[in-house]
Structure 1
Amino acid sequence: MHIRSIFLSALLIMLPLHAHAQQRLTVVLMGDTGFNGPGAHVSEAGGFKRGELVAVEDAMAKIGPVIRGDVVLANLETVVTDRNDIPQREKMFVFRTHPAHVRALVRHGIDVLPLANNHAMDLGGAGAGETLRHMEGVPGLRAFPGLGRTREEAMQPHVFVVRGAKVAVSAVGNAGGGLPAREGEAGMLREDRDFAGVAARLAGEPADIRILSVHYGPEFAPLTEKAAQERFRKVESAGLTIIAGHHHHVARGVELSDGKLIAYGLGNFLHLGTQDMRRFDICRDYGLIVKAGLLRGRGGYAVETVEIVPITKMHIAPEPLTGDAARLRVEVMNYLGSRLGEGRLRFAPQADGSGLWCAAGATDARCAGWQAPEASPREAEIAAACGKDVRRGNF
């Protein structure tokens, strides 16, 4: 048994049984989210997908019940504004989402919306300022880190308390700039320059759970680069609980490093500005929801369970995959994890289409008799798909 598993087993044994239900928290992680098509004007009536209006209620109908948790995080990859007159930057894809749709997403349970990514500055500093102004008034939204009017504000963790646990969340992404910001505007730090500083600032925040959202890396690449692994693992020793990675539009492997959970890539969640990923191969045609079960012991919160839910139709109305299709994508995730080394997680396919990993000694009822799965009989096919060089298609 690995030393981390022995430590967690001892931690779980030391906890009194009656405390388990009260001390267990679920953190739900999801990828790229936005509610409008590229270049589309905003409308309170709905988001546009290929010129047709879509309502948040319809888009969330099948996935809403799946994302229940104590902390529910999704990367918000868009400017948030009710204005169509702000000039946009010269780039291939520009996203703006009406604040009414952000409020609707929060009503569906998404309460943490990191803002740092390569579309946060699509409308320049003025658009980023609009985003901050609107996010500050969303009822039920607990955290929206990643933008700021100053460098310190952009770096500052957002802190809140849920069921007695103090949670701190920070975010850093690619294609930042605009700091210090002009009056009424905002800017963003860059992950290639500021990753270590943002992580260190978060690690120093007095909190029970520390979550870092990172928008990084090449698109459509499911295999995690060694440099990214090394960088994220270094940060792990500084006291972070979870690192949530995104930007690739495809899922990547999941691991534990020194007891800290790293989801290297969550893929898309719900973004009307993205293409239908079903046109790609089995290594790229799904998104990923990660549910981390954290159990509080004398040494703080430890990762007891990790559940993954492969999803489809992320471009318009996400829903969980089921049956053989879901099982195959869980096996793909196990293959991607196998490329990460010692800390990789292997998920046992479940009857509902999800995959489950349990720490040794876990007291979660779902973990009774849990065993790591064998390699997939389709391993060669999976490896061939994940090894392809895939480029962006047309929306």
Structure 2
Amino acid sequence: MNDHATDRNQLIDCDVHNFLGDLDELVPYLDLSWQKMMNIGKFKKDSVLNIGSFQFPHVRYSHASNPLRTDAITPSGDYPGTDPQFLVKDLFERYNTTYGILNVGHGSMSAYHNIDLTIAYSTACNEWMYDKWIKADPRYRMTMVCAPLDPKATISEMQRVAHRPEIVGLNLQNVNIPMGSRHFWDIYEAAEHYGLPIVLHPDTEGSGEYSPSQFIGPASTYMEWHTTLALVAQRQIASLVCEGVFEKFPKLKVIFIEYGFSWLPSVMWRMDKNWKALRESVPWLKKLPSEYIRSHIRLGTQPIEEPFKPADLISLIQMVKAEEMLLFCSDYPHWDGEFDERAFVHFPQELKRKIFYDNALESYRF
């Protein structure tokens, strides 16, 4: 038995990050024209002074020391999250993980200005993840990346790879278009058809030309940016509900990973209050906003909020009947991840079973 085994039998980790060790890993999946544009493969030699070379979109906020755990550096000395076999040993075997869902960690190009390159990258990234990671261990599952600024391209990519059983969600990412917008409705229709939930994870905020910056403008520091990421989720949930997305697509689920969840009661209560007084402005809503949220929205547990009295967190969950809404996330290998069950020690056994396994099994396409 491993050193962190408990009396639970199964665990689905809904946020495991894998990284490109080098952009050259994408060379087998990209045409020469894209390789040249990205200065990879044989074209690396053509940029002696590195002038005009491709740069992956980076978030403007840098962690004061290192955003990744230095104890997760691979045995060969490579970046954390770049070695499938080591990740299995360092995470899955240590914590008795049944399945780990990969959300690509080096960033997407969702908000990048060159949409054609974004499309090419998305296809290459999905193939790289499948070949290098999914085939490495049967416990790996993945969310596919796409180009949300181009719905037709996103649907085409779903048609190409969504039949693979190891793909359990669509990693849509945030761009500066509210998620309730009709821009996304064809994507939602396709996702509903394939049984894939939409997954939202912090990534493009501030890292691309078409990315939101927490809706009131950019933050000044990493701490401010990291603390206020939850505002993005709150705004998107309001958009999804108020625009009637869940009336239009009754089987769709949207999963918000790494935004926390302690803010959920205030959002639900405020929306319910406003709906009672302002329902004429949203006549397509047939029930309380909180009912749509409870049925269609799922939230990752990380970064879990820790009140002065730990049991108060259970009360907060019970206040809004969110027992079926929460999904365990380790956020491996990030600095603020949760890698064991100490944060859940006060939770009832039935609630832990839902968070660790049952809710993910119901929310993703397993």
State the TM-score, normalized to the length of structure 2: 0.41
- Structure number with higher helix proportion: 2
TM-score by length of 1: 0.39
Q: Which has the higher contact order (CA 8 A, sep 6+)?
A: 2
